[in-house]
Structure 1
Amino acid sequence: MQIVTRLIAMTRARQLQRQFQQIERSIASLPARTRSRLAIMTLREIGQASKCEFPHLYSTAPDQRYAPWGQGTEIGFSRAQSENPEVALRGIALWLAVAYHETKETPHTSLQPQHRQLLRVLRELRDAGSEPADATTQWMRSGAAA
């Protein structure tokens, strides 16, 4: 049984890695202001997911509760591919939130690198969200405005 579990975890790790690479490219192509919006959306999605009984199954139908993993990353990934920028942004936030909870406290060593990569991206988004939005705001916060 342990071999089957490891095989499932390795398959899931590969799938998440492929999706993560595309999500990361999408995030990198976003302007700074949109990244700060994405940071807020992602934080909100992570919070909503953590309120669920099973956060890693966020956005998954209740009848699929006993599946090895939920449908949240698939839904988020398909939305992230959308031509509509708002839908794509929400899809990225959903994918990040569900993947975060899915890999958060995993005992499987094949999924732990994905969690570290997710934490890095979430930290970058958090830092992008806390930076001043424009040069005027930056100037007002500096000593030159005094």
Structure 2
Amino acid sequence: MRLFSQLIALSRSRQLGRQFKEIERCIKALPRQARARLGIQTLREIGQASRMEFPHLYGTAPEARYLPWGQGTEIGYARALSDNPEVALRGIALWLAVAYHETKDCTHAALQAQHRQLLRVVRELKESHRGGDPVQEWMNTGAAA
């Protein structure tokens, strides 16, 4: 049984990894203002998912509750590739939120590495929506000293 669960985790890690590369490419292509809005939307989605009984199943239909993983990442990924910028932003935020909760407490090394990558992206998005006056930010860094 342990071998089977490791095989499932490895398969899921590869799937999330492929999707993550495309999601990250979409995020990097966004203008700064859209990235700031995405940061707010992502934090909101993560918060909404955390209020659910099973946060990793956020965005999944109730009848699909007993699948090995939810459908939120697939739905978010499909929306992230949309030509409509609003749909794409919401899709990216959904994907990040579901993947975050899915990998959060995982004990498999491959999924833990995926979680660290997600944390990095979420942190960058969080910092991007804090942005204020660039001159003031530069003055507060060690570069001005």
Match of 2:75 in 1: 75
Match of 1:84 in 2: 84
Structure 1 residues 142 and 116: alpha-carbon distance in aligned structure 2, compared to 1, 3 A threshold: closer
Q: How far apart are the structure 1 equivalents of 2:58 and 2:86?
A: 20
Q: Which amino acid aligns with 1:111?
A: L
* CA deviation after TM superposition for structure 1 residue 139, in Å: 5.8
Match of 2:8 in 1: 8
Structure 1: 4+ residue segments shifted above 6 A: 140-143
Structure 1 residues 88 and 66: alpha-carbon distance in aligned structure 2, compared to 1, 3 A threshold: same
Structure 1 residues 107 and 138: alpha-carbon distance in aligned structure 2, compared to 1, 3 A threshold: closer
Q: Which amino acid aligns with 2:8?
A: I
Match of 1:125 in 2: 125
Note the alpha carbon deviations across 1:32-88, whole angstroms, 9 max, x for none.
111100000000000000010000000101111111100000000000000000000
Q: How far apart are the structure 2 equivalents of 1:17 and 1:99?
A: 10
Q: How far apart are the structure 2 equivalents of 1:46 and 1:67?
A: 21
Q: How far apart are the structure 1 equivalents of 2:128 and 2:95?
A: 19
Q: Secondary structure at the residue paired with 1:110?
A: helix
Q: Percent identity?
A: 63
Q: Which amino acid aligns with 1:46?
A: I
Q: How does 1:51-130 map to 2 (within 5 A)?
A: 51-130=51-130
Pairs aligned (count):
139
* CA deviation after TM superposition for structure 1 residue 110, in Å: 1.7
Note the alpha carbon deviations across 1:2-61, whole angstroms, 9 max, x for none.
111000000000000000000000000111111100000000000000010000000101
1:19 aligns with 2:19: yes
- TM-score between the two structures when normalised by the length of structure 1: 0.91
Structure 1 unmatched runs, 5+: none
Q: Which amino acid aligns with 2:107?
A: P
**Root mean square deviation of aligned Cα:** 1.6
Match of 2:35 in 1: 35
Note the alpha carbon deviations across 1:94-113, whole angstroms, 9 max, x for none.
00000000000101112111
Q: How far apart are the structure 1 equivalents of 2:106 and 2:135?
A: 44
Q: How far apart are the structure 2 equivalents of 1:141 and 1:100?
A: 29
Q: Secondary structure at the residue paired with 1:95?
A: helix
* CA deviation after TM superposition for structure 1 residue 141, in Å: 8.4
